[in-house]
Amino acid sequence: MEKLSIQDASYRLNLSQADIRECIRNGELKASREAGPAGRRWMVELPEDGWLDSFRASLNDLSDSITPWWWPTAAMSGEVHYVEDMGIEEIEPLYLCGLRGENVWDAKGHTEADRCPKCLDVAKERELPLW
Ligand SMILES: [Zn+2]
Protein backbone atom coordinates (compact mmCIF):
# COMPACT_ATOMS: atom_id res chain seq x y z
CA MET A 1 0.00 0.00 0.00
CA GLU A 2 1.33 3.39 -0.95
CA LYS A 3 1.82 5.96 1.80
CA LEU A 4 2.26 9.63 1.16
CA SER A 5 3.00 12.70 3.21
CA ILE A 6 0.12 15.12 3.66
CA GLN A 7 1.73 17.39 1.10
CA ASP A 8 2.12 14.64 -1.49
CA ALA A 9 -1.37 13.29 -0.83
CA SER A 10 -2.72 16.80 -1.33
CA TYR A 11 -0.96 17.01 -4.68
CA ARG A 12 -1.95 13.51 -5.77
CA LEU A 13 -5.61 13.77 -4.78
CA ASN A 14 -5.92 17.40 -5.81
CA LEU A 15 -7.32 18.35 -2.41
CA SER A 16 -6.01 21.07 -0.16
CA GLN A 17 -3.76 20.05 2.71
CA ALA A 18 -6.49 21.28 5.04
CA ASP A 19 -8.90 18.85 3.37
CA ILE A 20 -6.42 16.01 3.74
CA ARG A 21 -5.99 16.76 7.44
CA GLU A 22 -9.74 16.99 7.85
CA CYS A 23 -10.08 13.58 6.20
CA ILE A 24 -7.52 12.14 8.60
CA ARG A 25 -9.37 13.60 11.56
CA ASN A 26 -12.73 12.26 10.52
CA GLY A 27 -11.44 8.88 9.44
CA GLU A 28 -12.07 9.28 5.73
CA LEU A 29 -8.40 8.67 5.09
CA LYS A 30 -6.22 6.26 7.01
CA ALA A 31 -3.02 7.76 8.28
CA SER A 32 -0.39 7.06 10.86
CA ARG A 33 2.50 8.91 12.36
CA GLU A 34 5.75 7.52 11.18
CA ALA A 35 9.34 8.33 11.89
CA GLY A 36 11.23 9.78 8.99
CA PRO A 37 14.37 11.78 8.29
CA ALA A 38 12.58 15.01 9.24
CA GLY A 39 11.09 13.59 12.43
CA ARG A 40 7.72 12.02 13.02
CA ARG A 41 5.09 13.02 10.56
CA TRP A 42 1.78 11.87 9.23
CA MET A 43 1.76 9.43 6.36
CA VAL A 44 -1.48 9.00 4.50
CA GLU A 45 -2.50 5.72 2.94
CA LEU A 46 -3.44 6.36 -0.65
CA PRO A 47 -7.12 5.44 -0.96
CA GLU A 48 -8.60 3.13 -3.57
CA ASP A 49 -9.75 4.36 -6.95
CA GLY A 50 -13.21 5.80 -6.64
CA TRP A 51 -12.62 7.10 -3.13
CA LEU A 52 -12.23 10.65 -4.39
CA ASP A 53 -15.58 10.58 -6.18
CA SER A 54 -17.43 9.33 -3.14
CA PHE A 55 -15.51 11.77 -0.98
CA ARG A 56 -16.55 14.69 -3.13
CA ALA A 57 -20.13 13.44 -3.10
CA SER A 58 -20.13 13.27 0.68
CA LEU A 59 -18.29 16.55 1.18
CA ASN A 60 -21.46 18.48 1.86
CA ASP A 61 -22.70 16.44 4.77
CA LEU A 62 -19.23 15.58 6.04
CA SER A 63 -19.18 18.18 8.76
CA ASP A 64 -22.33 16.73 10.29
CA SER A 65 -20.73 13.36 10.86
CA ILE A 66 -17.62 14.54 12.67
CA THR A 67 -17.62 14.00 16.39
CA PRO A 68 -14.97 15.32 18.75
CA TRP A 69 -14.68 11.87 20.33
CA TRP A 70 -11.78 9.66 19.38
CA TRP A 71 -10.29 6.34 20.30
CA PRO A 72 -6.78 6.85 21.62
CA THR A 73 -5.65 3.37 20.57
CA ALA A 74 -5.86 1.27 17.44
CA ALA A 75 -7.59 -1.45 19.46
CA MET A 76 -10.62 0.86 19.72
CA SER A 77 -11.49 -0.41 23.15
CA GLY A 78 -11.71 1.20 26.56
CA GLU A 79 -12.85 4.80 26.52
CA VAL A 80 -13.22 7.37 23.78
CA HIS A 81 -11.74 10.75 24.64
CA TYR A 82 -12.66 14.27 23.67
CA VAL A 83 -10.25 16.19 21.46
CA GLU A 84 -10.93 19.89 21.64
CA ASP A 85 -8.34 20.92 19.15
CA MET A 86 -5.60 19.40 17.10
CA GLY A 87 -2.52 21.07 15.77
CA ILE A 88 -2.76 22.50 12.33
CA GLU A 89 0.30 21.17 10.56
CA GLU A 90 0.69 18.13 12.75
CA ILE A 91 -2.22 16.34 14.29
CA GLU A 92 -1.22 16.22 17.93
CA PRO A 93 -4.24 15.14 19.86
CA LEU A 94 -4.50 16.54 23.35
CA TYR A 95 -7.50 15.05 25.04
CA LEU A 96 -9.57 17.17 27.42
CA CYS A 97 -8.73 14.94 30.39
CA GLY A 98 -5.04 15.65 29.84
CA LEU A 99 -4.19 12.44 28.04
CA ARG A 100 -1.84 13.08 25.17
CA GLY A 101 -2.16 10.74 22.27
CA GLU A 102 0.14 9.74 19.48
CA ASN A 103 -2.69 9.28 17.08
CA VAL A 104 -6.46 9.24 16.87
CA TRP A 105 -8.86 6.63 15.61
CA ASP A 106 -12.28 7.44 14.37
CA ALA A 107 -14.91 6.79 17.04
CA LYS A 108 -17.92 6.94 14.78
CA GLY A 109 -20.65 4.78 16.24
CA HIS A 110 -19.36 4.79 19.82
CA THR A 111 -21.94 4.85 22.59
CA GLU A 112 -22.23 7.37 25.40
CA ALA A 113 -21.11 4.68 27.81
CA ASP A 114 -17.77 4.54 25.99
CA ARG A 115 -16.96 8.13 26.87
CA CYS A 116 -14.18 9.06 29.27
CA PRO A 117 -15.94 10.58 32.31
CA LYS A 118 -13.17 13.13 32.86
CA CYS A 119 -13.39 14.38 29.29
CA LEU A 120 -17.15 14.53 29.62
CA ASP A 121 -16.93 16.64 32.79
CA VAL A 122 -14.55 19.13 31.20
CA ALA A 123 -16.61 19.33 28.01
CA LYS A 124 -19.77 20.04 29.99
CA GLU A 125 -17.98 22.57 32.17
CA ARG A 126 -16.78 24.46 29.08
CA GLU A 127 -20.11 23.96 27.34
CA LEU A 128 -18.49 22.31 24.35
CA PRO A 129 -20.63 20.46 21.83
CA LEU A 130 -20.74 16.77 22.72
CA TRP A 131 -21.28 15.65 19.15
ZN1 LIG B 1 -10.41 11.47 28.46
Determine the distance separating the centroid of ligand 1 and the alpha carbon of 20, expressed in angstroms: 25
Residue-range domains of the chain with CATH: 1-64 (1.10.1660), 67-131 (no CATH)
Q: List the pLDDT tens digit at each of the 131 positions of the chain.
A: 789 999 999 999 888 888 898 888 888 899 998 887 778 888 999 988 888 877 776 655 544 456 788 888 888 888 999 987 655 445 567 789 988 877 778 888 888 999 999 999 999 998 888 87
Determine the distance separating the centroid of ligand 1 and the alpha carbon of 96, expressed in angstroms: 6
Determine the distance separating the centroid of ligand 1 and the alpha carbon of 24, expressed in angstroms: 20
Determine the distance separating the centroid of ligand 1 and the alpha carbon of 28, expressed in angstroms: 23
Determine the distance separating the centroid of ligand 1 and the alpha carbon of 47, expressed in angstroms: 30
| Residue 40 bridge partners (DSSP) | 35
φ, ψ of residue 102 in degrees (nearest 5): -85, -25
* pTM exceeds 0.85: no
